[in-house]
Chains A and B, each alone.
Chain A
């Protein structure tokens, strides 16, 4: 049993090859979502800086969320050069697992995520797919929990760029749901062996 007690070995670091094309799609419902144009500008700046080919669509209906994702998948699969990575940004009102289109109808996030998975998008098979979802997932509000003296948050640190649209640091409280890592043995809807 001594071998089981040997020193832990460092992880071998493997990186995704990012030398190919980077493609991004942003779908944003701006209706009754003040400030969303500012968010889209910030995303456009970020994608330009990170050398992504960025496409932005405003005010999709629930059906158009799906159609735009389908079109994005076809664009990726027909891209002439190898594709390294895709970003999808989804911004709308929402509930857990659902986004609300401009037409007030709901679309399931699961259906959107399916479009670019390894089965449905060959050019992205084994390549990183990053989803950024800016939407409500329910009605709960988090007032935070008070910290004791020895449970300090990090100090004030300024970001190098644009100011964030939130109030400045409050070291007395912390969100209820941090410092937890969720590790599931399988993805939702699938068996675990």
Chain B
């Protein structure tokens, strides 16, 4: 986590859930896509981090 900006995962997730429209699975795809396009530096080395979604939802879930 960045001391002042927080974690890439939570910051991306909250931004997408607030600013994008779609079912929650579509939004999580968007979060994965955005995180795939970015990287974090750890001890001077670039690192990739991406979420994993496991779903047993039976219907579309829309939060907006």
Contacts and interface: CB of A to CB of B under 8 A. Distances in A.
Interface of A: 13-16, 18, 33-36, 38-39, 41-43, 45-46, 49-50, 85, 91, 126, 128, 130, 132, 134, 141-144, 153-154, 156-157, 159-171, 173-178, 182, 184, 187
20 contacts: A14-B58, A15-B59, A34-B3, A36-B7, A39-B10, A143-B45, A143-B48, A144-B48, A153-B36, A159-B12, A160-B15, A160-B19, A162-B14, A163-B11, A164-B11, A165-B5, A165-B6, A167-B40, A167-B41, A177-B52
Contacts, number: 165
Given A38-B4, A177-B50, A46 B18 contact: yes
Given A14-B60, A165-B11, A175 B49 contact: yes
Contacts of B40: 166-167
Q: DSSP majority for the B interface?
A: mixed
A147 B10 CA distance: 26
Q: Which secondary structure dominates chain A's binding surface?
A: loop
A176 B11 contact: no
Contact of B61 (A15, A160, A169): A15
A174 B57 contact: no
A170 B52 contact: no
Q: How large is the interface on B (under 10, 10 to 19, 20 to 34, 35 or more residues)?
A: 35 or more
B36 A35 contact: no
Nearest to A186: B56
A132 B4 CA distance: 21
A164 B48 contact: no
Contact of A178 (B14, B50, B61): B50
B47 A141 contact: yes
B24 A159 contact: no
Contacts of B42: 141
Centre residue among A36, A141, A166, A178 by max chain B CB count within 10 A = A166
Contact of A39 (B7, B34, B41): B7
Contact of B34 (A18, A161, A164): A164
Contacts of A42: 6, 10-11, 14
B1 A36 contact: yes
Given A35-B2, A38-B11, A170-B37, 5 more contacts: A38-B2, A41-B6, A130-B24, A161-B19, A166-B8
